[in-house]
């Protein structure tokens, strides 16, 4: 990997949002494409952040600052990515489930999915099953992403999936779930199509669900 991309991924890990736009510009000037910079620097940095967070070596503030550093870099790349004419991978409707107002993780997954080429529709937090249903009818997404931070609220994922089944909408979408208390076993039990153990894994999963990874 080139020095500039390595530097940029290090800046994401450090969470220095003042440096990332300059480095993104420099990488563009050196001839890297927006997609290369995204995949080989910003996402690489964020993936490392995800691993360190899960291990307990990084904490929420640092993750937030890393996300901000990625966001400011992505701000420069976004118009270039759009102009490159690459087809959208698909559409994702996502939200933090009913009763839960923690949206840091969900926002991160949203940003990474957007970076991966998805059209992301964010329903926000405390999203009731009816709101997911309404959004599926309105936006016809390929994927629904649900997030929860608490064990008290994660069961709402199961309620939402059931409500989608009852509304006859389940078969038409893939469902991915994530959040600190969510694991594979839980995802299987509630009938989700996949589970992401951290934000970058969530974005990878979205690509897999679209058969694009």
Interface positions with other proteins (CB under 8 A): 54-56, 59-61, 64-65, 99-104, 125-126, 149-153, 155, 180-183, 185-186, 189
Q: Residues of 84-109 as b/e, b for ≥16 C-beta within 10 angstroms?
A: eeeeebbbbbbbbbbbbebbebbbbb
Of 56 and 168, the one with the shorter C-beta distance to other proteins is 56
Shortest CB 17 distance to other proteins, Å: 10
Q: How does DSSP assign 81-127, residue by residue?
A: HHHTTPPP-EEEEEEEBTT----HHHHHHHHHHHHTTEEEEE--SSB
Contact partners, residue 160, CB within 8 Å, separation at least 6: 97, 98, 129, 132, 146
C-beta of 196: minimal distance to other proteins in Å?
A: 15
Nearer to other proteins, 182 or 209 (CB): 182
Q: Which two tokens stand for residue 193?
A: 């199509």
Q: Of 155 and 170, which CB lies nearer to other proteins in the complex structure?
A: 155
Nearer to other proteins, 138 or 152 (CB): 152
Q: How many CB atoms lie within 10 A of CB 30?
A: 12
Minimum CB separation of residue 16 from other proteins in Å reads 11
**Please, what is the minimum distance in Å from the beta carbon of residue 81 to other proteins?**
25
Rank residues 32 and 186 by Cβ distance to other proteins and give the closer one. Answer: 186
Residue 57 beta carbon to other proteins: minimum distance, rounded to whole angstroms: 9
The residue length of the chain stands at: 213
Report phi then psi at 17, rounded to 5.
-75, -10
Residue 135 or 182 with smaller CB distance to other proteins:
182
Min CB(85)–other proteins separation in Å: 34
């Amino acid at each position: 990997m080139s020095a500039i991309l390595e530097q940029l991924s290090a800046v994401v890990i450090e969470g220095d949002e003042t440096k990332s736009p300059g480095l993104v510009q420099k990488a563009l000037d050196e001839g890297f494409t927006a997609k290369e910079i995204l995949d080989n620097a910003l996402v690489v940095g964020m993936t490392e952040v995800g691993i360190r967070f899960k291990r307990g070596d990084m904490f929420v503030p640092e993750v937030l600052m890393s996300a901000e550093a990625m966001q400011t870099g992505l701000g420069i790349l976004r118009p270039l990515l759009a102009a490159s004419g690459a087809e959208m991978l698909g559409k994702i409707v996502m939200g933090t489930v009913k009763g839960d107002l923690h949206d840091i993780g969900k926002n991160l997954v949203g940003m990474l999915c957007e970076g991966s080429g998805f059209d992301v529709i964010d329903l926000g937090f405390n999203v009731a099953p009816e709101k997911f249903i309404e959004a599926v009818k309105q936006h016809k997404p390929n994927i629904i992403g649900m997030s929860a931070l608490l064990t008290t609220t994660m069961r709402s994922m199961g309620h939402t999936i059931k409500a989608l089944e009852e509304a006859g909408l389940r078969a038409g979408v893939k469902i991915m779930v994530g959040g600190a208390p969510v694991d594979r076993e839980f995802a299987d039990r509630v009938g989700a199509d996949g589970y992401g153990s951290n934000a970058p894994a969530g974005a990878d999963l979205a690509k897999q669900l679209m058969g694009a990874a």
